[in-house]
């Protein structure tokens, strides 16, 4: 990788990490009902970088930034890392990083699974085990999970189908 190409990748990583942090604030303010915003930002960043570690790197940096404003401090970083690692593992396993064509079914599946795993981390580790967050009960928790899963599935469909062709054209990737 040439120096200018590396500089572009690092700049994109920084930009999408900050955007993911800001999107995570929106998710927090909307009590997870703004999950689609975070999913879109994260997915556009990951598909733009197209690196086997992209989701983990964006999630790690965004999670570190988020932890400084969170009452949970570094405990919340786990949710970000679970999200990024699961995306990278599934994208690598399903060949999303290896092809220029977007496998929409693989992206939808990955985004849904990664959202579910991050939610499971938050609920079981932060709510039930550490008792750091309020347990709102089965109905509200289920509703939040369902909205997040649908939002992520929708983002997994919309981003590769409609957003990435415009991003690629603009960046000439």
Query: Domain locations in the chain?
Result: 3-171
Instruction: Give the Cα separation of 28 and 22 in Å (integer).
Output: 10
Average pLDDT of every residue of the chain: 92
Instruction: Give the Cα separation of 39 and 118 in Å (integer).
Output: 12
For domain 3-171, is the CATH number 1.10.1760?
A: yes
Of 36, 37, 26, 47, nearest to 107 by C-alpha is 47
Instruction: Give the Cα separation of 108 and 127 in Å (integer).
Output: 27
Dihedral sign (CA 66, 91, 101, 105): negative
Q: Could you tell me the pTM of the whole model?
A: 0.93
Q: How confident is the model at residue 134 (pLDDT cuts 50, 70, 90)?
A: confident
Mean pLDDT of 18-32: 92
DSSP code of 127?
Answer: I
Phi (first) and psi of residue 105, to 5 degrees: -60, -40
DSSP code of 123?
Answer: I
Per-residue pLDDT tens for 48-105? 999 999 999 999 999 999 999 998 899 999 999 999 999 999 999 999 999 888 999 9
Reduced to 3 states, what is the DSSP secondary structure of residue 72? coil
Dihedral sign (CA 149, 150, 151, 155): positive
């Amino acid at each position: 990788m040439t120096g200018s190409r590396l500089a572009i990748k690092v700049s994109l990583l920084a930009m999408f990490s900050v955007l993911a942090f800001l999107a995570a604030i929106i998710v927090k303010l909307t009590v997870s009902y703004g999950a689609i915003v975070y999913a879109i930002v994260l997915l556009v960043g990951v598909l733009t970088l197209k690196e086997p570690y992209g989701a983990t790197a964006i999630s790690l940096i965004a999670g570190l930034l988020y932890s400084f404003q969170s009452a949970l401090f570094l405990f919340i970083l786990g949710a970000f890392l679970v999200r990024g690692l699961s995306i990278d593992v599934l994208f690598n396993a399903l060949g999303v990083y290896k092809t220029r064509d977007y496998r929409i079914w693989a992206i939808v599946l990955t985004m849904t699974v990664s959202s579910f795993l991050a939610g499971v981390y938050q609920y079981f580790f932060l709510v039930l085990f550490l008792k750091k967050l309020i347990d709102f009960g089965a109905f509200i928790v289920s509703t939040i999970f369902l909205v997040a899963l649908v939002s992520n599935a929708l983002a997994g469909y919309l981003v590769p189908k409609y957003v990435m062709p415009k991003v690629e054209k603009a960046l000439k990737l």
